[in-house]
Structure 1
């Protein structure tokens, strides 16, 4: 095939036109395929099902009011709102064409457009206004030959030209683009499309239908934001935009990292530079589109690549392109529209060759091997900010101004690189022209974008031909500041205006936009102002366009904080409360110790050390060591201790709070919360006073408040906080938690007091529901704080699965067997200890302490073997898919997850080290070379962690989701050299691309690109700076370094050996007491446990100060002595101190004393319910401060395998809410509150006396 033939195939493509249909057909197809997906999100989400229902209602109402079929309806509404788009769609659904006018355009232009179009009605912000009501008619579908929109473009005579486009042409345009973009990963419900263009601009049609043609979500942006440059970039990230169609000028304003989340970038409307392509095309699909309004938005397109020539590409399927002899581009095919003016239509769409109609564009192009290259305009049309402007229209209006003798309009370039229109005028004899009055008059008859700045000259330069010599027109214009009466700030701002606008600033009353300031100029100005005022935003300029008011705002910003201040006084926890807590800990720990005392008593009887009654021991075993006794003792006892509690706010440390605190401690001490069966959880919940319906899948702990209501068939995944209360300063907030029938709550979510999740709703994993608004029926909410994301997705079958009672018995029996595995390992360890003591002929029970370390090693070894057997056997029934919870597949998946979760706590020394990948491979996971895995929870068979990847503490990879009696799982993959931060989640079915990062307390996206970085919930793209470190100490350690690390990590076994010695000490004391006072020993067991707990803390304190000493802000590569020794000392906290002390002392004064001994700086009267202070010397908790349960004061990060340490400060009276993380370098100011489920970013400074929440935090 010749080159010419090849080019013709790519230019003449009308025979490939997509099948006929209407835009409404396209919308209905998307709604049918994705009814629950978000269709519009302007702060509130409207799903496709809701959208179709709403426009059907409105369209029927329009026809009932008398809007005729095939009529024309004007649209003039505020941008950035769903109402604008509902009006457009309703109009088309009613079988009419919409005629848009920008809300900011002058009334005279609107009257001209609506008059020329002869509209029958007009949509405004107040509703529908009928101009020519007809007889009511029933609703009917539009046909492909009906007009769908009429858009007016600039006219050379000064009068706008109306262009009508049929559904056939518009739908063909949508379907043709669908054949071009993102063919490897087509657009879909997970994509979010920016809607930032005026609907009076035909490119807005591309925005709308990029979303609605693929089941994606249209996200309108406020007009003030769209006009900005620097501020729109961060907004794209916050709103999770993935698709942008814009003009090159605007795209050029955004920093490259602002587009990291954009996978499809389309530019058009004006020439795209090679520099912009080279900067933005890498890492995403970038397309350059070309097309006049007269040929339905786009006629050709080219995919852009860095370093490759920029062209306008080849014809879309259905379009024909020809180059006339003079180089003008001519368009034919399915996309041809028509002018409302028949004469204009006949002129511009005249036949050409064998084409019945052809549109002559006025653009000159040349043919290249890469497509058509744009050369320039054949007439006086120009494009500014993507908007096509005919200078003739502007010049006609300027020339018509009173007192103007001669005039010309030219496009000039500002110092900011912004292009502007400048009107050069000379006055009639004896006339003095007033520039301000001239611009005001032009603004009455022209859109703001067409109003030029005015420069008055005595006479304009003239060519010999008699025409104005535009090249000789002065530029830049002379500029100065009239500083009379200005303050210092006003003068500084005015000088910045001169730099940006290149013209005079007449005084403090000057208006930036009236002087000709555009969006690009505004962004350029703000960039200059931010050198002194970092927090000023572009929208501040739009809100304060006058120089005096802008300067005043800047003065205010420099004097005061922009965040609302909350004045309050927080009382430290009183001494009486601490005393009460200490006294209450005695019976609580007595209950905790009673189980251990029973086991010791049975062993002592077997060994002949005591002669206790076997019948009494049997009774004690049933009551204290099995669910039949532990659940009622724990639940009913906690309910009695708690007493009656109602929703409300109570004093921290008051009677209600202390009773609630003690009730939780009692329930935990009973062991009822350690019974992993979902049925046991439901029984416990009901005994506590909660209401739990039938067929509930409850995989989380019951709330001790008794204020939860869980509807029939609801599903609650592991790690969900249902407690329904939290501490904010010295206030305890308690509320009800209501979960409706069939609702689902994802893993690791937090439900705050007052939460109401209605029937069939779904809260995604890792979300925080604040309780401010109810989660409506069948809605899907996600994030922290959680917000509506659409309708609940159909991840599970609609029909109810079989729920055979036999499986409930099997789950209950399995929970007993799972609990028996570590008990069996402990029994073997004890037997080894006793056996060695007897071999050594040790006569005293105290001699057991000498051999206990060996027992500790036996416990770890056998425990790992039993876990390996359990996981490998259970995994025989594990595979991806959706299965009934009560089925073999559901049971095996649940069993594996329980075993894996339990193993990382009981056998902690094996985790977060070189042994971890080996251990996980033995369990069936695919772990690549040089991968690092900490305390991750995984389903090994369905987990792949590729070479060099890093999973930090408490990560969740894969596992399962539940809903409606079904359980779902899938493969989860972490790509090569990717990083998942502390408490990060990689959900089932997710694949994190190589060299990507998921930050602390963050979720992986549904789709990711290589090298992408994510933070927050829902995940947003982030910028990441890599830390330099020697390759040998990070990714490529030598064999010698590996051996050294291995030696230090082997020393971790000292922790379980120490744990075993303390257990032997406890047993020896108990045996001695049993020999002396018999069963009365049960009353002293709590004191014995507490005494051993003190020794456990002391062991951790000694390990910390001996191994690492004082911790300081610094950086250390993974393969360094500091990192290894720091991990070693942490073993003594997690393995020794936590089970003996920290797990039971949360919130007490004793907790604070222990943390102080470890190095944490804790002020008096602080309430601390977490011991997760990784580098204790770097942690500061102020006087009366609150640190909630499940919270991590994260003083280090492990990005790029470099441990970076810094201080974290929680100041006096401040609060860090439950399940939150505060990253290194962060400060929570005096009296400030960070709410539950929040992430305080690295280096963030939460202002004093303010309230913040979110992931990441933002003012609340």
Structure 2
């Protein structure tokens, strides 16, 4: 280890700045005490204040305790997204001393069973709030039956709260062996993360009760923890967005305006679909989960709005470092949060010099742990060259610059698509288990529309054709919808001299993309087929083709909507779900596609700031004239009152002056004359 390189990396060590040890429940109760009447969550059915939220959390925690949940347990949460009950359940599990283990309600049942089994949950909160214990002899408990508790009951000690060493949540990430990996985050790490971000963002006007925070991510995605605690850590209001709107991308934009959203944490792919004026109320915009394109940052940076780029694996508690964005290059992932330590090392584990590329190592208060002890010992091994007893090797390559780190890519087969971290090995394992598949691999490709897609390349047994619908159905039983790849068939997988698959040599676009459009397609069907191909990356040759069976997901659907709206502005993601087949979609659009002058639809641009100032200055004379008219009314009233005794102290104005003033400024004829004179000027 070179002394000069270690000294150069001193800005990457923020261990000494860690916040005092607390739990998330400590933070919530402290915020509720300071802002009891502020709105804590608003799911569209009515807002809950912090006082009301805390009362419901403690009552639900008591119900879980009575059902057998104890401190140190783990409780699964699998509820429909967006409801107050989902978030109350999450908080109640933690308040009862347990860790919540989230699974998205849309994920396959097999994955849910695998996750809950690996975690060893005491029970599962599902549906509308039914707690189903793991013990088959225990009865079902309905957590939200009956009237809501009185807000004053939040002061009653119902269960023993968690300690800083207890786990707050356990989130499962994609596994290279085909089995998801459980990552446990302690209250100490989670609370340190919340407080570190509180010290980082919008310091001139900190987050508070006036802010409304978008909750648009699945709670099975660790970035949802950032959404929740950007609100609950500062007295702001969490506003869950309907899942259908989040999937639509472009349709979410007007919802943000209507809801008065001021804080958004999202992935760049989704934000790229929003026009800049749709986030005019947003004063804090945080990107994470995937690389942020520089042109996106430049477009969304605005006066009065902070834009940040964040980086962090689940294994280091959501975010490990962050950088403010101002639209300039390069786009950095920044410097560590308070309490975190980073190092950029070479192949021997020694710190690299300024400007050099190396693997990013993470240490500090944010380190989580794997449920699998062997995996934990492997990935969180000591780093003697750094003097760290425990460190997480991220597998990410970064360039070290003291102004902020710059992401360079992965050193392994892990990828991110749509903000979701995916181990290619997990997807490959599922592909290789398909019937009549002799070999398979996976790669990330980019379609003509700029959509990153996961593509599965299959080598079929001799004489067997791929049954695409059956294959996708089999994959849906094992993989989350967002990780089911587009399927393509190749004769053989290209390999390097080392024997490993050469992903760079895999064909893209897929074979057959350049095939001519079917001759029996109508003009509308042919145009739609071109849009599908641009988004999906493969040829569409059958009017019975199903968008989702071909590999379309929520992100691809949102991109397709953007393209179709060039000719049909009213088209929405819901329409794709209603008519997913090519022929049916073309028929539903019908006469709306017959206009052969596409793309005359434009969104109105916001009024420039300079024009707003000019309008304000030009309007000043109107305010003066209005003031003169009201002054004349008051002086006239004063003159009338002076006709009676006792009002001699009122201002005295000659009657001729009043009469002339009223004729000019108060009568319709006088005001019309002023308007004509102003127009001529």
What is the TM-score when the length of structure 2 is the normalising length? Answer: 0.82
Paired residues in the alignment total 600
Tell me the equivalent position of 1:265.
285
Counterpart of 1:385? 418
1:153 to 173, 188, 200: 173
Q: Kindly report which structure 2 residues correspond to 1:1171-1186, keeping only aligned pairs within 5 A, or say none.
A: none
Please state how far the C-alpha of 1:491 moved relative to its aligned partner.
Answer: 4.4
Which residue among 341, 348, 363 is the counterpart of 2:379? 348
Confirm or deny: 8 A CA contact 2:399 2:406 kept in the other structure. Answer: yes
Alignment correspondent of 1:514: 549
SS of the equivalent of 1:371 reads coil
Q: Distance in 1 between matches of 2:544 and 2:68?
A: 49
The 2-side partners of 1:222 and 1:328 are apart by 39
**Structure 2 residue aligned with 1:221, among 227, 241, 250?**
241
1:186 deviates by 0.2
| 1:72 is the counterpart of 2:74 | yes
1:131-158 deviation line (CA, Å, top 9, x unaligned)? 1388999621111111110000010001
The 5-angstrom pairing of residues 473-484 of structure 1 reads 473-477=506-510, 478-479=512-513
Distance in 2 (CA, whole Å) between partners of 1:318 and 1:7 is 19
Residue 117 of structure 1: how far off its partner (Å): 0.4
Deviation readout 1:264-307 (Å, 9 max, x if unpaired): 11111111222222222332111111111111111111112222
CA distance in 1, matches of 2:12, 2:138: 45
Cα distance change on mapping 1:534 and 1:339 into 2, 3 Å: same
Residue 504 (structure 1) aligns with:
539
Distance 1:184 1:1103, change over 3 A: closer
1:799-838 correspondence runs (5 A) = 822-826=636-640
Question: For residues 484 and 50 of structure 1, do their structure 2 counterparts lie closer, same or farther at Cα, with a shift above 3 Å needed?
Answer: farther
- Equivalence for 1:925: none
User: SS of the residue aligned with 1:471?
Assistant: helix
Instruction: Return the match for 1:369 from 398, 402, 411.
Output: 402
Aligned counterpart for 1:538 among listed residues 568, 573, 577: 573
* Alignment of 1:328 onto 2:362: no
Deviation at 1:1124, TM superposition (A): 7.3
Name 2:622's counterpart in structure 1.
Answer: none
Distance 1:556 1:71, change over 3 A: farther
Cα gap change, 1:492 to 1:116, in 2 (>3 Å):
same
Inter-CA distance 855–370: structure 2 relative to 1 (3 Å threshold): same
Tell me how far apart the structure 1 counterparts of residues 301 and 183 of structure 2 sit (CA, whole Å): 33
User: What is aligned with 1:168?
Assistant: 188
Partner residue in 2 for 1:86: 88
Residue 493 in structure 1 maps to residue 307 in structure 2: no
Q: Which of 651, 657, 678 pairs up with 1:857? A: 657
- Secondary structure at the counterpart of residue 179 of structure 1: helix
Give the corresponding residue for 1:11: 12
Larger Rg: 1
Question: Which of residues 100, 108, 127 is equivalent to 1:106?
Answer: 108
Deviations 1:433-463 (A, max 9, x none): 2222112111111111111111112223333
- Secondary structure at 2:214 match in 1: strand
Residue 508 of structure 1 deviates from its aligned partner by 3.7
Q: Is the 8 A contact 1:13 1:320 kept in 2?
A: yes
Of 51, 54, 61, the residue aligned with 1:52 is 54
Shift in CA distance, 244/6, structure 1 to aligned 2, threshold 3 Å: farther
Alpha-carbon RMSD: 3.0
User: What is the CA–CA distance in structure 2 between the aligned matches of 1:461 and 1:225, rounded to whole Å?
Assistant: 41
Contact kept? 1:825, 1:860, Cα under 8 Å? no
Map of 1:387-536 to 2, 5 A cutoff? Answer: 387-477=420-510, 478-479=512-513, 489-536=524-571
> C-alpha distance in 1, partners of 2:85/2:544?
36
Contact 1:18 1:317 survives alignment (8 Å): yes
CA distance in 2, matches of 1:462, 1:328: 26
The one of 387, 391, 399 equivalent to 1:358 is 391
Aligned positions of 1:126-145 closer than 5 A: 126=128, 127-132=130-135, 139-145=159-165
Q: Distance in 1 between matches of 2:490 and 2:375?
A: 36
CA distance in 2, matches of 1:210, 1:394: 33
Question: Does the 8 A contact of 1:416 with 1:520 survive in 2?
Answer: no
On the 8 A contact 1:412/1:419 being kept in 2, the answer is yes
- Match of residue 314 from structure 2: 293
Superposed CA deviations along residues 586-634 of structure 1, whole A, max 9, x for unmatched, are xxxxxxxxxxxxxxxxxxxxxxxxxxxxxxxxxxxxxxxxxxxxxxxxx
SS in 1 for 2:405: strand
CA contact (8 A) 1:96 1:147 kept: yes
1:579-590 equivalence runs, <5 A: none
Q: 2: distance between equivalents of 1:856 and 1:344?
A: 96
Q: Distance in 1 between matches of 2:535 and 2:677?
A: 55
Q: Shift of the alpha carbon at 1:15?
A: 1.9
Other structure's SS at 2:31 match: helix
Q: Look up the SS of the partner of 1:258 in the other structure.
A: helix
Distance 1:120 1:23 in 2: 21
CA distance in 1, matches of 2:98, 2:364: 24
Please state if 1:313 is matched with 2:334. yes
Which residue of the partner structure matches residue 604 of structure 2? none
Matched residue SS, 1:116: helix
**Residue 337, structure 1, aligned to residue 368, structure 2:** yes
The CA deviation at 1:504 is 2.8
Deviations 1:482-501 (A, max 9, x none): 76876664444333222322
In 1: Cα distance, 2:678 partner to 2:573 partner: 46
Which blocks of at least 5 consecutive residues in structure 2 are unaligned? 142-156, 348-357, 595-632, 645-652
Shift of 1:394: 1.1
Tell me the secondary structure at the aligned position of residue 322 of structure 2: strand
Cα 1:857–1:271 change in 2 (3 A) is same
Q: Tell me by how many angstroms 1:53 deviates.
A: 0.7
Q: Note closer, same or farther for the CA distance 1:404–1:3 as it changes in structure 2 (3 Å cut).
A: same
Using the size of structure 1 for normalisation, the TM-score is 0.45
Aligned positions of 1:1213-1228 closer than 5 A: none
Alpha-carbon shift at residue 543 of structure 1 (Å): 4.1
Matched, 1:119 2:154: no
Change (3 A) 1:532 1:305: closer
With over 3 angstroms needed to count, the CA separation of the structure-2 counterparts of 1:557 and 1:76, relative to structure 1, is: farther
Which deviations, in whole Å up to 9, do the C-alpha atoms of 1:1051-1080 show, x marking residues without a partner?
825x56xxxxxxxxxxxxxxxxxxxxxxxx
Q: Separation in 1 of the partners of 2:378 and 2:419?
A: 26
Partner of residue 623, structure 2: none
Contact 2:11–2:402 (CA under 8 A) maintained in structure 1: no
Q: Where do 1:746-895 residues align within 5 Å? A: 822-826=636-640, 855=655, 857-858=657-658
Aligned mates of 2:558, 2:42 — CA distance in 1: 26
Instruction: Specify the alignment match of 2:41 in structure 1.
Output: 40
Q: In structure 1, which of residues 221, 233, 246 is the aligned counterpart of residue 253 of structure 2?
A: 233
Q: Is the 8 A contact 1:482 1:507 kept in 2?
A: no
Offset of residue 827 of structure 1: 6.4
C-alpha displacement of 1:518: 3.1
User: Is the contact made by 2:249 and 2:274 (CA closer than 8 Å) also made in structure 1?
Assistant: yes
| Distance in structure 2 (CA, Å) of the matches to 1:544 and 1:217 | 36
CA distance in 1, matches of 2:296, 2:638: 67
SS of alignment partner, residue 368 of structure 1: coil
Give the Cα–Cα distance (whole angstroms) in 1 for the partners of residues 97 and 641 of structure 2: 79
Higher RCO (Cα < 8 Å, 6 or more apart)? 2
| Deviation per residue, 1:89-138 (Å, 9 max, x gap) | 11111111000111111111111101100111111114211113889996
Contact 1:301 1:312 in 2 (8 A): yes
Q: In 2, Cα distance between the equivalents of 1:317 and 1:190?
A: 26
Post-superposition shift, 1:469?
2.5
Report deviation, 1:860.
7.8
Q: After TM superposition, give the deviation of residue 6 of structure 1 in Å.
A: 7.2
CA contact (8 A) 1:253 1:520 kept: no
Give 1:194 shift: 0.8
Residue pair 1:481, 1:494 contacting (<8 A) in 2 also: no
Give CA-to-partner distance per residue, 1:993-1020, whole Å, 9 cap, x none. Answer: xxxxxxxxxxxxxxxxxxxxxxxxxxxx
In structure 2, distance between residues paired with 1:523 and 1:29? 40
